[in-house]
């Protein structure tokens, strides 16, 4: 019994060690995400109201704004799928990101902004 438990625990440890580590943004990349805003004032208002709180917080598990490793695999699904996931919700992402009056066009503009890589600056260490 104990032997089985120990073997199971070891197997779990090995599996955890083998799993690919999700890319984590640096403190500089998170600060850059926190201050970035869409140029369009309408989109910036929605973004600050509905998306920024999760999408600049690593603890939310949301893809961080401007952080390419988090967005690249998602962008490969195509914009139509991303808009659909934003509209209908996807795993821990709530439907419309709590923006009940967002149109598909608004969601697309938000996604284009959020998924655009923020170039590494002097704070991006």
- Site residues (CB under 6 A) for ligand HEC? 50-51, 53-55, 60-63, 74, 77, 82, 85-86, 90-94, 97-99, 102, 107, 110-111
Q: Which is nearer to ligand HEC, 112 or 124 (CB)?
A: 112
Instruction: Strands of 1-125 (E only): list them.
Output: none
Nearest-approach distance from CB 26 to ligand HEC, in angstroms: 20
Asked if residue 96 lies in contact with residue 86, where contact means CB atoms within 8 angstroms, the answer is yes
Nearest-approach distance from CB 125 to ligand HEC, in angstroms: 26
Nearest-approach distance from CB 44 to ligand HEC, in angstroms: 12
The shares of helix, strand and coil residues in the chain, as percent rounded to the nearest 5, are 60, 0, 35
Q: Which is nearer to ligand HEC, 32 or 55 (CB)?
A: 55
Which tokens sit at 103? 């149109």
Residue-by-residue DSSP string for 35-62: H---SSHHHHHHIIIIIHHHHT-GGGTP
Residue nearest to ligand HEC (CB): 97
């Amino acid at each position: 019994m104990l032997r089985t438990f120990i073997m199971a625990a070891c197997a779990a440890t090995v599996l955890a060690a083998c799993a690919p580590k999700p890319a984590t943004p640096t403190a500089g990349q998170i600060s850059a995400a926190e201050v970035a805003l869409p140029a369009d004032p309408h989109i910036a208002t929605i973004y600050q109201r509905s998306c920024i709180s999760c999408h600049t917080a690593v603890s939310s598990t949301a893809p961080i704004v401007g952080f390419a490793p988090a967005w690249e695999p998602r962008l490969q699904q195509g914009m139509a799928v991303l808009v659909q996931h934003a509209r209908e919700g996807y795993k821990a992402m709530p439907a419309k990101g709590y923006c009940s009056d967002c149109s598909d066009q608004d969601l697309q503009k938000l996604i284009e902004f959020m998924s655009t890589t923020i170039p590494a600056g002097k704070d991006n260490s």
